[in-house]
């Protein structure tokens, strides 16, 4: 009897589950049909989706930033960096008043020697040949801009200018065929890092005990010796009222400093001594005075507008000996000041007091 009751309950539960399942399926079918009918009856609509402008991330003020976990953010980089390419173009430059090889070297980030050596036909290795209006080659790198001659080869030119032939052939600006580098006479070729000996254009040292130098070779200011007179103290003062550089500094191709001044400014004897050159000189110096100090030192004052002392005259330290000017090969008024010791050149900055 008990068994029949349990079986009867089980069958009722199964029947109820089947009825519930059938009802659920009927409801889902009805809902789907309604959705399809609704879609078919509605017209098509284009929905504009707004494009939001990107906004920088900002932590709300109410968030405790000291306790918030760290976040990594990446800022947008709007600038694209284009890699720099090597400059391979030789340019030309017209010399202006007050230019010097030293100032041009600084302007174009080159060694002064590079500009001097690359313009041999114009300057003849003489920095004093620089004149306003001249056209100069300005190489893109340090070395020598060279005109190829008959009989030249990469090997011979490299040997002459103390470099490697591969430097000449491989430099991209020379635009040579690496397998067959042909260079015709007259072609202008860059010799990267090339160098050679300087051809110095100077007035020789004239000792007070010597017989002087030839006026036919060194100019009308050459004096006939022997000379005798005052001796210097061994200490030097500035030969000008101003103590600033204006033009070339002391370097291998310019064994002096150019001191700025105004045309007609007085020039002073840097130390006592005797005058061994006074007047016009060759080589681009213009009017020159040389004083022998009797201590192994000599000083030279060039580009003067006029001289105030003569050959063999004794002068004392600080005495006016001439006047600043722009004579000879010069691009503007300045004093070219040399210091020599026992025939060799001394950097004037080593003996002058601090400016």
Q: Where are the beta strands (DSSP E) in 212-272?
A: 257-260, 266-268
d(CA 176, CA 197): 27
Angle at CA 286, nearest 5°, toward 252 and 210? 75
Cβ-contact 117, 256 below 8 angstroms: no
pLDDT for position 305: 96
Q: Which CATH class is domain 91-192?
A: alpha beta
Cβ-contact 188, 173 below 8 angstroms: no
pLDDT for position 114: 94
The segment(s) of the chain belonging to CATH 2.70.70.10 are 215-350
pLDDT for position 65: 46
Q: What is the mean pLDDT of each run of 10 residues along the chain (355 residues)?
A: 67 72 66 55 49 48 46 46 66 91 90 92 83 93 94 93 93 90 93 84 70 69 86 95 88 86 96 95 90 94 96 96 92 92 91 92
The model's pTM: 0.62
Cβ burial, residue 343 (10 Å; 0-12/13-18/19+): exposed
For the segment(s) 215-350, the CATH number from 2.60.40.1190, 3.40.50.1860, 2.70.70.10, 3.40.30.10 is 2.70.70.10
d(CA 324, CA 319): 14
Cβ-contact 250, 290 below 8 angstroms: no
Q: How many CB atoms lie within 10 A of CB 263?
A: 12
């Amino acid at each position: 009897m008990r068994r029949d009751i349990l079986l009867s309950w089980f069958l009722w539960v199964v029947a109820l589950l089947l009825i519930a399942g059938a009802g659920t399926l009927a409801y889902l079918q009805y809902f789907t049909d309604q959705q399809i009918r609704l879609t078919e009856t509605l017209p098509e609509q284009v929905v504009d989706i707004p494009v939001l402008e990107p906004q920088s991330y900002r932590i709300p003020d109410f968030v405790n930033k000291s306790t918030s976990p760290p976040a990594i953010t990446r800022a947008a980089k709007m600038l694209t960096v284009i890699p720099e390419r090597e400059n391979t173009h030789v340019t030309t430059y017209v010399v202006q008043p007050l230019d010097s090889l030293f100032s041009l070297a600084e302007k174009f980030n080159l060694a002064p020697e590079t500009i001097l050596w690359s313009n041999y036909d114009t300057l003849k290795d003489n920095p004093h040949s620089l004149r306003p209006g001249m056209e100069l080659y300005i190489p893109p790198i340090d070395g020598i801009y060279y005109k190829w001659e008959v009989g030249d080869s990469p090997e011979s030119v490299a040997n002459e200018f103390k470099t490697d032939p591969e430097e000449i052939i491989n430099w991209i600006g020379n635009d040579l065929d690496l397998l067959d580098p042909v260079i015709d006479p007259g072609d202008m070729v860059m010799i990267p890092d090339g160098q050679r000996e300087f051809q110095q254009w100077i007035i020789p040292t004239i000792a007070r005990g010597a017989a002087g130098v030839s006026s036919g070779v060194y100019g009308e200011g050459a004096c006939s010796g022997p000379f005798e007179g005052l001796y210097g103290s061994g200490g030097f003062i500035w030969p000008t009222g101003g103590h600033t550089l204006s033009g070339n500094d002391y370097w291998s191709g310019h064994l002096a400093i150019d001191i700025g001044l105004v045309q007609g400014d007085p020039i002073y004897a840097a130390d006592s001594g005797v005058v061994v050159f006074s007047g016009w000189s060759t080589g681009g110096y213009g009017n020159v005075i040389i004083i022998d100090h009797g201590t192994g030192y000599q000083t030279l004052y060039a580009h003067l507008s006029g001289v105030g002392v003569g050959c063999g005259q004794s002068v004392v330290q600080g005495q006016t000996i001439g006047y600043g000017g722009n004579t000879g090969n010069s691009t503007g008024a300045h004093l070219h000041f040399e210091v020599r010791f026992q025939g060799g050149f001394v950097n004037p900055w080593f003996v002058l007091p601090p400016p």
